[in-house]
Amino acid sequence: MKRLSEHLPDLRRRLSLGAVYTDLDGTLFGPGSSLFADAEGRVTTRAAEAVAALHRASVPLVPLSGRTRLQVREVSRIMGARDFVAEMGGLVCLDGEAEVIRTSSHLAGAGTPVDAMARSGAAGLLLEAFAGRLEPHAPWAFEPREVSMLFRGQVDLDEARRVLDEAGHRWLALRDNGVIRRPFPGLEVAEVHAYHLLPAAVSKAAAVAEHSRRRGLTREACLVIGDSGADAEVAPHVGAVCIVANGASSVSGPADGVYVTDGAYGEGFAEAVEALLGV
């Protein structure tokens, strides 16, 4: 990936910010999911000041998270965000939930996509196939969810794709939502990641494309800030994606339109906002 600081003149020339989409945990929020913690756990107000700068510039902040709808709604209220995206792109919520768009296609049977996944047995299949390497991301995995099931561990996504396909679950995908920087005793892995099992059509990229269309935003008006490959995948739909430094190792493959900040967590979020707002 390119360093954000080395490409600012071109980005400032191309982008005219109309919305900033941001991941929460590991991006806007530092260790412990705190808005006021830097990479070492010290107190910082820089991310909060960057959010205030967006409000002063009348640039909407759009949380883009794997958290549940209720969880992201409360964060959005606190941050003064009008719209938000929950469950890894599964739910696009407008005007504080006056309208909720489910991005997954129609599934056979009654209930939500999570209901359909529960009936399929796909979650149990993955837990068995990756025993010791994958487990529910408790306690958050047991919050009411509509579109995705939440896990933690470290698995090869191509291998997970094969396990799902061979069992007839081509309609599902396991997506990596970034590194969790603390150990869990039950996992025999070198690095812990958050994963979401969800309908294959669901992604942060699809959600941003839908939201920007509904809000009449051009590609060059949109900026994404995140910490994972799922965030980097939005690049074809926006002017730029900025990956905070602590998420750089999670991004692989083509990186056109993807830039890495020098700062980690909220400091990286602030770096991107300050640079592209010119504050």
How far apart (Å, rounded) are the C-alpha atoms in residues 72 and 74?
A: 5
Decide which of 242 and 105 is more confident: 242
pLDDT tens sequence across 172-210: 999 999 899 888 998 999 999 999 999 999 999 999 999
Q: How far is CA 115 from CA 24, 42, 78, 112, 177, in A?
A: 26, 41, 30, 5, 22
- CATH fold match for the domains 15-103+203-277 and 113-199: no
Handedness of CA 79, 81, 86, 88 (dihedral sign): negative
| Residue with tokens 């909407």, as numbered in its chain | 60
Give the DSSP H/E element, type plus range, for residue 66.
Answer: none
pLDDT tens sequence across 114-127: 999 999 999 999 99
pLDDT of residue 255: 79
Tell me the pLDDT of the chain averaged across its residues: 94
pLDDT of residue 172: 95
pLDDT of residue 107: 66
Query: Residue 250 is which amino acid?
Result: S
Domain boundaries, the chain: 15-103+203-277, 113-199
> Starting at the edge strand that comes first in sequence, how are the strands of the sheet with 149-153 ordered?
134-136, 149-153, 192-199, 172-180
Domain 113-199 part of CATH 3.30.2320: no
pLDDT of residue 105: 64
Q: Please state the pTM of the whole predicted model.
A: 0.94
Decide which of 130 and 278 is more confident: 130
pLDDT tens sequence across 61-80: 999 999 999 999 999 999 99
pLDDT tens sequence across 108-164: 667 899 999 999 999 999 999 999 999 999 999 999 999 999 999 999 999 999 999
The terminus-to-terminus CA distance of the chain in angstroms comes to 24
* Positions of E strands within 140-184: 149-153, 172-180
Report the DSSP beta bridge partners of residue 230.
Answer: none
pLDDT for residue 16 is more than 70: yes
Give the DSSP H/E element, type plus range, for residue 159.
Answer: helix 157-166
pLDDT for residue 103 is more than 90: no
pLDDT tens sequence across 210-241: 999 999 999 999 999 999 999 999 999 999 99
pLDDT of residue 44: 97
pLDDT of residue 181: 86
pLDDT for residue 15 is more than 60: yes
| Residue with tokens 């997970």, as numbered in its chain | 160
- Hey, what CATH class is 15-103+203-277 in? alpha beta
pLDDT for residue 106 is more than 70: no
pLDDT of residue 84: 98
CB distance 26 to 179 below 8 Å: yes
